Homo-oligomer: A and B are copies of this chain.
Amino acid sequence: MDKIAIALLHYPVKGRTGETIASAITNLDLHDIARAAKTYGALRFYAATPLTDQRVLAEKIVGHWQNGAGSTYNPDRGRALGLVTVVPGMAEIVSDLESRVGKTVRIVATSAVESPRSIAYNAFRQHLETPENDKSVFLLCLGTAWGLSDEFMEAADFVLAPIRGKSGYNHLSVRCAAAIMLDRLLGDDAPGVY
């Protein structure tokens, strides 16, 4: 496919009471989502935060495994974290991704809440496979904390349906949600992909 990149946004996301906040970087989010992105062949994994000290922290984590002591201790981890680019926000993501792949970036928002715009995964897989989309690259965007802001959702090109199981409960970690999304779109169990 080579049409999918993934972004983890720490701003603009919702806080506990719905207000827009910048959340903190979580070490294991970077590791787990990088490992899933590498497994599923995502083009790039962007970790975005407007907070300079948080970007410095994220780059230190990533650098440890890419070039530091971690790269010899566990080279597989370094290969995954090599996919990570730490950036301030969406403008830098879109610019970097467009220059890397030479295609138009389409923003795909995700949420744990159903919206009138929600597209089911099977419909989105079919959409990805249409030939006119060969000129586009799709950026799966996940929000930390209580999810992407309403303004972000409204401005996105697509909104993916919430991941649902058998129960009414859907409080997956963002790490697990990212892995499931990539598996549904690019895994060897996804209908029509292989």
CA distance A180 to B175 in the complex (A): 11
Is A39 in contact with chain B by the CB < 8 A criterion?
yes
Q: How many residues of A contact B (CB 8 A)?
A: 41
Choice from B31, B35, B40, B165 contacting A166 with Cβ under 8 Å? B40
Is A164 in contact with chain B by the CB < 8 A criterion?
yes
Is A128 in contact with chain B by the CB < 8 A criterion?
no
Closest to A122 in B: B189
A residues sitting closer than 8 Å to B (CB atoms) are 1, 28, 31-32, 35-36, 38-41, 76-77, 79-80, 120-122, 163-167, 169-173, 175-180, 182-184, 186-189, 191
| Shortest 8 CB-CB contacts between residues of A and residues of B | A41-B166, A40-B165, A176-B179, A164-B188, A39-B165, A32-B173, A41-B167, A180-B183
